[in-house]
């Protein structure tokens, strides 16, 4: 029987790579992103379904799960990847940024898991894979909301792993260092202009300054890890913070 996956934030970057990798592994995939023609077109090009829903709202989380169940007939794997398109450092702690980030990157994974819980239980092998960050385990200045959300995701992962274990549900968080997504490429370009240096120098001097492996991750690197955690082979892995941080947190 074909297994079914819901990938949030799946219209670009890590989410799009995860959707593609899951499709190649034989899954049927529902991509969620904000409602727009580009997201629908990318899903169609991959051979995936698409549901437009704003996950910063409770109703959007419920809609994403319900659309997956009604369109594909079930749910085996939930990949919580949705994030923001702009994550510039913000030093003055604006309340709206705090509220928005925690709603999308912490409350939404909880709500999606809540609505998906019974369908995942019915499979006997449900999988929840949360896309965290090296900032799930470490901190940087001027990223209070982002770091808090990603740290909170680890706590949620551990609780969901304990509660899901009797039903065959596993829950893990993948924690990558900087990944070459459109968001990060834009940040690199901005830094290059601001500092008057080349893009590759920005990568080495800023993005990779604190890691021993001096190479940016690609979205496909993360996607391969997600496919493993979604598979039957990962049955014993739960409650884990699966680091892909280039040695960042080994310091």
Catalytic residues: 146
8 A C-beta contact, residue 32 and residue 6: yes
Residues 6+ apart with CB under 8 A from 175: 132, 133, 134, 136, 137, 241, 242, 243, 244, 245, 249
């Amino acid at each position: 029987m074909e297994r079914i996956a819901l990938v949030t934030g799946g219209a670009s970057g890590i989410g799009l790579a995860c959707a593609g990798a899951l499709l190649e592994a034989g899954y049927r995939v529902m991509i969620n992103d904000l409602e727009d023609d580009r997201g629908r077109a990318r899903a169609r090009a991959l051979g995936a379904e698409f549901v437009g829903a704003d996950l910063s709202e409770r109703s959007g989380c419920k809609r994403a799960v319900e659309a997956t169940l009604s369109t594909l007939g079930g749910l085996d794997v939930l990949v919580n990847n949705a994030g923001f398109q702009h994550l510039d450092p913000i030093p003055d702690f604006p309340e709206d940024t705090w509220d928005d980030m925690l709603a999308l990157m912490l409350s939404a994974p909880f709500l999606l898991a809540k609505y998906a819980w019974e369908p995942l239980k019915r499979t006997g092998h449900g999988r929840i894979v949360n896309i965290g960050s090296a900032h799930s385990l470490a901190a940087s200045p001027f990223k209070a909301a982002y770091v808090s959300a990603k740290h909170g995701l680890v706590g949620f992962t551990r609780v969901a792993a304990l509660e899901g274990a009797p039903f065959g549900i596993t829950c893990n968080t993948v924690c990558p260092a900087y990944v070459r997504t459109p968001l990060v490429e834009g940040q690199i370009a901005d830094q290059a202009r601001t500092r008057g240096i080349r893009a590759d120098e920005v990568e080495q001097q800023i993005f990779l300054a604190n890691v021993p492996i001096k190479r940016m991750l690609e979205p496909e690197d993360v996607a391969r890890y997600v496919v493993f955690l979604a598979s039957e082979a990962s049955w014993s892995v739960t409650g884990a913070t699966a680091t892909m941080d280039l040695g960042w947190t080994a310091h």
